[in-house]
Chain A
């Protein structure tokens, strides 16, 4: 089954404690992306990657890191989480967006609470 898998689904942690949210896709997609969803703000793109070893900042990259060492994985790293990073996070993947009729497939989301 084609899917994007995020882990963990829920996490409560404390300020300053490094954490990683993993994202893996099994569709051989080149494009992967991280978003955060906050009430009234919709989804905002944090980072995206067009292929292995290629990453770019989205709208809200501050406080986050990513890496793309393998095509299937795109982890999101919070080196020193702060309460303003409490949010619902989505990972997504697709073929290169320019290719016809290629939707983004989203993971089920990770709800992070930073105390």
Chain B
């Protein structure tokens, strides 16, 4: 079973629109960590955010915001007023303490922002 599910394979939005990327995870651990990474067309992987299972506070960083809800096992990522430079593949990932910090990535969501 997939531990991290990113159901949206590809999304296209027009510049300045808001967009939300969904991430649903599955774990039995009480201590775990969730991450988002960005992979622009150049191919490198860029860390965006890390959240631990005890911290359900939502976070905002500029145009980026993250909504962590343990009740629905979701960790969604919203880009406000999207820009062309946001075009990339975005990965959600899970790390579980009880498995010795093995990492599980979702299959990624490819976001295209159209000018």
Contact = CB atoms under 8 A, between A and B. Distances in A.
Interface stretch (A21-29, A34-42, A69-77, A78-86): A34-42
Contacts of B35: 103-104
B50 A96 contact: no
B103 A108 contact: no
Interface in A41-71: 41-45, 48, 50, 56, 58-59
Given A97-B33, A101-B50, A108-B44, A50 B100 contact: yes
B4 to A, nearest CB: 8
Interface string B57-68: 000000000000
Interface residues of A, number: 29
A40 B43 CA distance: 15
B105 A35 contact: yes
B43 A108 contact: yes
A55 B50 CA distance: 24
Interface of B: 6, 9, 31, 33, 35, 37, 43-45, 47, 50, 52, 91, 93, 95, 97, 100-108
Shortest 9 CB-CB contacts between residues of A and residues of B: A103-B47, A42-B107, A106-B45, A43-B105, A97-B101, A42-B105, A42-B108, A97-B95, A45-B103
